[in-house]
Each structure stands twice: as structure tokens, then as C-alpha cells.
Amino acid sequence: MRSNAIKQGPARAAARAMLRATGLDDAAIAKPLVGVVHTWTNVSPCNLTLRELAGHVQTGVHASGGTAVEFNTIAVTDGIAMGSDGMRASLPSRETIADSIELAVSGHCLDAMVLLVGCDKTLPAAAMAAARLDIPTVVLYGGTIMPGQCPRAGGGDAAITVQEVFEAVGAHSAGRIDDAQLHRVESHSCPGAGACGGQFTANTMAMVLGFLGLSPLQLNDIPAIHPDKPAAAHACGELVMQRLRDGGPLPRELLGIDALRNAARAVSATAGSTNAVLHLLAIAHEAGVAFGLEEFEIAAAATPVIADLKPGGRYTAAELFVAGGTALVARELRTAGLLQDTPTVTGRSLFQMLDALPAAGPQDVVRAIADPIKPRGGYSILYGDVAPDGCIVKLAGHGRDHFEGPARVFDSEEAAFAAVQACHVRAGDVVVIRFEGPAGGPGMREMLAVTAALVGQGLGNDVALITDGRFSGATHGFMVGHVAPEAARGGPIAKLRDGDRVRIDVATRRIDVDADLSVRNPASLAPRVATGALARYALVVGSASHGAVTTPGPLDVAVAEQTLAGAA
């Protein structure tokens, strides 16, 4: 056992004394020590149930012969931070969460771990930490929130999520709804615990964890307040002990190229959050797998949208669960030959897991591959004058694949949001928001406040937006994000000016401008943050086209070793 390093032999008497002070006896100390790590906080509904679920995981660990060691790490909730300076902390929190799990688990030489996660960055962070540590690991998502029920003007209720609140803000600024209606939407959208309810980033990444094999298939689908969730947590505690006893499969065995490609296709088939691109690149980096940006174009081109999920569709994640869950998507992809059989943390392969599940009844949340909602996936990777290192265009929720118009250039999200709220953005404009990339933001904020306000004003299909920042999973409309290189690193987006004619063409996979950027100097801004964690992050973070990571991965280490060997 790894934990023997801190508890076995006369030299470790002091460590045993401290463990004994926490209530452990000799028998408990002698057992495997299993980390039960969660991101509980009561600042948002996304993580609200995780401390309770941790108790159920611990009973599973104890019942299976282990000793549970509980600790928590941070969470930054995008839905609260969105549109504020606080949003700069969101993406950097992914690295901090992964770092803290790695440091606490390795620092105490724990033998295995169960990771309980809730809001957006906590899920990829768990996978990144699992890849780094490569010890027996199970990840469980706390679950989706239930849809809110908002009274309709003509009677009855409409199912809504926090997406409708952000869009109501734009409708309110345009005078399309009054204060009372805004308050009604706000008051009814989030009825209790759980992460945001559409196929936004949290639910997209929860599905991804199932396809990667780090989470048992279907357990992440169970909503946060569902009575089956505690039993799922208990089962994860038992499962991690089983993996510890039989020696595998370990996270890096699960995170192979086929699993990553399966996950990319699942994101495409569900028109999931474009943040999944950023996160899967980062997970692959930590696992030492060569998995680049172009993989997502291949996945999207081959995989139609078959799930009718918000933000572009009709249904929430809770309704997908009732219909049959992730297995509905997996079975369709398998039937079409778009899914590879891969190992999972359960010890059974992905196809074995699917075969063991009961057939679903009639439903219309997930369509057959032969009858898709859209013929290709919900995003595309573009290159061109504006983004020589790549960017991602979100295709869900609109039918356009070409947009051309004059640039309206803003050097911050706040400036763009103020212009939208003042109704200064017109149909046909290409809104450019720059200096919001990983380094320039710093933190690569999501532009949901701007995009939702445009939708709320009825401009969602009539305005394009490009940014070196990110989009929320709740964003829909003609949106291009992750532009690389970013403005703060001298990328061409820093050379755009008001009135430049920008062309976005999905068919040719180009994003270009009718201007000679070679004769222009890039605009520049002083660093927005000069001290602390965000300043350090801005100095070390890599390009969005490589996952915006801050650490060397196994492939980087291998290359460095080869270079040193060659020099010697």
C-alpha cells in the first residue's frame, strides 16, 4: 500500500500518533487509506449535496475494508461569477482544484480516491488530477438541478433553467419584459440543489466522464436530489476498494485515445458545451496522450446532433435522465460505428456496460442517428487570418454556417455588455471581444452575459461574436471563441479595428478579415492583475488551442528527456 510510507514501522510512530488523534485505531490505520475528496460549498446549488454524498461514499469504503480520509477543495461557480471580475477566477480554479487534489493525496500517500464534483471546472479538474496521480480512482458527479417551473403569461408553467434568466436580462434591457416578469423568471429558475440544468458545461463534462470510463455509466445522470443518488455514492466507495484490490484499471489506462475520441463524439452528438474542447485537451495533456484540436473537427464532422437538449433544444438533463440517460446517446453512437469499446472503472468495458442496461422505453429526447436534429456536430474548428492557431465556432441553436459583417471591437467583456445593453449593437455586426484570453483576461472569462443579452434582444441569429475568451455551455447563437493566439500574446485579433469586414465560413473552416493585418501593430493593454494567483496564472498559462494548461505533462517530460539525452 502507498500509505505504508506514512504508517508502517517504528519510524512512523509520530504519524500514527496523529492519525490516532483523529479517532482512528490500530485496525483502521492498518487498512488502505482512501481519499474522499469533494468540492462542497454552500455558495451555490451546484455543490450543495456533495458533503452529504461524501458520507455515503465513506460508508461504502468502510464496508469494503478501507479507511476513508475526507477533505475538500475549492469551487468557483460560473453562474454567480458570470459577467463580473470574479469570472476571471473560474478557469484558473480548474488548475487549483487539480493541484490541491494532487498535493493532498500524494502528500498523505493515500492508496485510492473517490472524487465528488459539481460545477463546471470541478469535473475536468478531477479527471486531470486522476491522470496525474494514476491511482485507483472513481469520479462521481453530484448531479443536475431539476428544471424550474415558471408561470406562463397565458396560464400553465414552462420548464426553465438559469439560461432563461440570463436571456431575460437582455429582454429586460430591450424593454421586451418588465421588472415583474424578470423577477418571476429569476425566482423560479433554480428550485434547489444541483448544477445548471441544460447540456451546459457541467452536464456535458459529467457525460464526458462516463465516456472516458472514470465514472460508472449512468450514475452521473442521476439528479442531485433524486433518492437514488446516495446509493450511487455508496457504490462508488465500494467500487474504488474493488479496484484497489484487483489492481486496475488505473486512470491512464482509461484515458486512451479511443476514450478521448468517444468523449469528443458524445459532446458533438449532444451539442454540448464548447468548454469540453478546452477540458479534453487538458485531460489528454495530463494523461500524456497526443490529442489535438483537429480531433474535435473530425468528431463533429462525423457525428450528427441527436440529443434535443438545451441550450439549443427543448429538454433538460433531468429529462434526459428520465428518458434513459447517457446510454441513449452511447447506444446510437455504437449502432452507427461511432463508438469504440473501451475499459471503464467498473472493470467491465463500455459495451459490456451498455449491454447490461435495460432497453429504454419510448422517448423523444434522443433521436436515431438516421434521423438527426442536425447532420453534423454542434461545433467546428476554424482557422484563418484572425485565428491562425485555431478557434471554435458553436453551431447549436441556429442554422447559419456563414456570417459576414463589420467588426465592432471591444477590449473587455464589460465594454461589450454596456454597448449591448444600450442597444448600440445592430443586426449584421460582428462583435469582437478581445484581451479576455487565458493570459489576457486573465482567466478566459465566459461571455454568457453578452451572448444571452443579444439573444434576449432578439439578435441571437443576426449578430456574430468572436472572442479569445470562452462561452458558457448555455450560450447559443453564432459565436466563435478560443481564438488563438490571443490578443495578449500578440495574436491577429489584437490588430482588428472597428469597421473591418470579418468573414466566418464554416464550410471552408475559415475566419478571415478584409484588411492587411501585416502592416498593423497589435493593440496592447497593461496587465489587468499585477499580483496574486491570477498574475501568476497569466505568466504561465498556455494557449487555449492546447487546453490552457499550466503544468508540463508526460509528453512534455518525454520530449525534454530526449532533448537532454541528445545534447549529452
Known catalytic residues? Answer: 472
The C-alpha cell that represents 236 in the structure block: 462508488
d(CA 394, CA 273): 9
Q: How far is CA 118 from the centre of its chain?
A: 11
d(CA 333, CA 330): 5
- Which stretches does DSSP call E strand in 191-283? none
The C-alpha cell that represents 237 in the structure block: 466507495
Q: What is the amino acid identity at position 551?
A: T
Q: Name the nearest CA neighbour of 198 among 121, 307, 281.
A: 307
Looking from the CA of 504 toward its CB, the CA atoms found within 13 Å total 32
Q: Which residues are CB-contacts of 213 (< 8 A; sequence separation ≥ 6)? A: 249, 254, 255, 259, 342, 343, 344, 345, 350
Helical ranges in 225-274 per DSSP H:
229-246, 251-254, 257-269
The C-alpha cell that represents 100 in the structure block: 490541491
d(CA 310, CA 164): 10
Query: Is residue 444 within 8 Å of residue 544, measured between CB atoms?
Result: yes
The C-alpha cell that represents 138 in the structure block: 472513481
- Which stretches does DSSP call E strand in 395-449? 402-410, 430-433
The sheet with strand 137-141 has its strands ordered as 67-72, 33-38, 112-117, 137-141
Residue whose grid cell is 484490490: 245
Could you give the maximum distance between any two Cα atoms of the chain, in Å? 78
* Strands 137-141 and 148-151, bridge-based pairing: unpaired
564, with CB counted inside 10 A (0-12, 13-18, 19+), is exposed
